[in-house]
Structure 1
Amino acid sequence: MTLTPQSVSSGSDADPRYAKFDERKRKRMESNRQSAKRSRMRKQQRLEELKSETTQLQNQNSICRDKIDSVERKYHSVDAENNVLRAQLAELTERLNSLNELAQFWADTTGFPVDVAEIPDILLEPWQLPCPTQAIAASDMFQF
């Protein structure tokens, strides 16, 4: 018994008309596999890039938080010092007023006039002094 190509293989393998369609199908499937592989590789690369960017942004965020915390600590320190200075100003103003009252009482009692001026406005507003005695270095407090 002789085997013909049709009896050896089944389906379209034996028929030359279908051979080129099978070859096209095989090439298309291989092309699709390669395309899917490239797509997976691009996807993996993009995932790695996004992970790297996330890490960089988290590091930058941490640095910004540290700077903000530092500025807040400096602000609270300056605010507390400012409150102390205001309290001292109020206390010294009260003392000066008391001394002025005593001087006035003494002048009224003894008859000798005491020339004590009221608190000069310039002392109540030291930020308006024409030439401050000590430079205030606040510019470095707000640097990042």
Structure 2
Amino acid sequence: MSSSVPAPQTSGSEEDAQLMVDERKRKRMLSNRESARRSRMRKQQHLDDLLSQVTRLKEEKSQILMQVNLFTEQYARLESENMVLRTQVMELTDRLRSLNSVLHIVEELSGLAMDIPEIPDPILKPWQLRCPAQPITASANVFQC
């Protein structure tokens, strides 16, 4: 025996209400999908921007490191040249003192008055040097090992 259970009778307004609920669910689901898609696109754009920034900053870092290396080399070269020049100044000052002492001896022995200028301390007061600036040729390689 087969018994058939009659389907419950729904009125048209209940079906319309159910259709409206289903339509709202479908629209909400589509809206959520679109929102999720936009969110993924924003996230991807943000990631692309960050990767671009990383690349740019790595390039800047590389350029800065090259400049630092260049300045370090220049500093070492100038420091070496400075050391050569300081040594030359000290040697020339010693020579000048020796020559002045010889002039004092000649002055005492000859009785002639000589104009012997005072020797300024070039390391403490380099602006007092009264000698004309003349190039002194020297090599910075003297102090390199």
Alignment TM-score, normalising by the size of structure 1: 0.68
Q: Mark the CA change 1:119 to 1:62 in structure 2 (over 3 Å): closer, same or farther.
A: farther
Any conservation in 1 of the 2:103–2:116 contact (CA below 8 Å)? no
Deviation at 1:74, TM superposition (A): 0.9
User: Where does residue 111 of structure 1 map in the other structure?
Assistant: 110
Matched residues in 2 for 1:51 and 1:85: separation?
51
Describe the SS at the equivalent of 1:15. helix
Q: Where do 1:1-144 residues align within 5 Å?
A: 4=7, 6=8, 15-108=15-108, 110-113=109-112, 115=114, 117-118=116-117, 125=126
Cα separation, 2, equivalents of 1:32 and 1:128: 85
Quote the Cα distance in structure 2 between the aligned partners of 1:112 and 1:3.
151
Q: Which amino acid aligns with 2:37?
A: K
Name the CA distance, whole Å, in 2 between partners of 1:30 and 1:127. 88
State the Cα distance separating 1:88 from its structure 2 match: 0.8
Q: Partner of 2:138 in structure 1?
A: none
| Cα separation, partners in 2 of 1:132 and 1:52, compared to 1, 3 Å | same
Counterpart Cα distance in 2 of 1:39 and 1:82:
63
Structure with a larger share of its residues in helix: 1
Superposed displacement of residue 86, structure 1: 1.1
How far has the Cα of 1:18 moved from its partner?
1.4
Structure 2 unaligned residues grouped into runs of 5+: 136-145
RCO comparison, higher one (Cα < 8 Å, 6+): 2
Number of residue pairs matched?
124
- Unmatched 5+ stretches in structure 1: 8-13, 135-144
Report SS of the residue matched to 1:19.
Answer: helix
Partners of 2:57 and 2:16 in 1: how far apart?
Answer: 61
CA RMSD, aligned part only? 3.2
Tell me the CA shift for residue 56 of structure 1.
0.7
Rounded Cα–Cα distance in structure 2 between residues aligned with 1:2 and 1:16: 24
Question: Following TM superposition, by how much is the alpha carbon of 1:126 offset from its aligned partner in structure 2, in angstroms?
Answer: 6.7
Match of 2:140 in 1: none
